[in-house]
Amino acid sequence: MKQRKVFSDIRIKAENIDQNILRRYIQFLRLEHSYSINTLDAYCKDLEKLLRYYSTEGINFRNVTLEQLDQFAGSLLEEGIQPRSLARVLSGVRSFYRFLVLEGELKNDPTELLESPRIGRHLPEVLSIEEIDAIIGAIDMSRLEGVRDRAIIEMLYSCGLRVSELCQLKISDLFLEEGYIRVRGKGSKERLVPIAQKTVSLLRGWLVERMQIKVKPNQEDFVFVSFTRGQHLSRISVFVKIKEYAQKAGISKSISPHTFRHSFATHLLQGGANLRAIQTMLGHEDISTTEIYMHIDTSHLRQEILEHHPRNIKGRAESDKTQ
Q: Tell me how far apart the alpha carbons of residues 322 and 316 are, in angstroms, rounded to a whole number.
A: 10
Q: Tell me how far apart the alpha carbons of residues 175 and 180 are, in angstroms, rounded to a whole number.
A: 5
For residue 40, the surrounding DSSP H or E stretch is helix 37-57
The answer for residues whose C-beta is within 8 angstroms of residue 42's C-beta and 6 or more apart is 88, 92
Tell which residue, 138, 126, 93, 99, has the closest CA to residue 111: 93
DSSP annotation of 220 reads T
Q: Tell me how far apart the alpha carbons of residues 260 and 269 are, in angstroms, rounded to a whole number.
A: 14
The residues assigned a catalytic role are 162, 186, 258, 261, 284, 293
For residue 266, count other CB atoms closer than 10 A to its CB: 23
Q: Tell me how far apart the alpha carbons of residues 80 and 308 are, in angstroms, rounded to a whole number.
A: 44
For residue 219, count other CB atoms closer than 10 A to its CB: 14
C-alpha distances out from residue 101 to 42, 62, 97, Å: 22, 11, 6
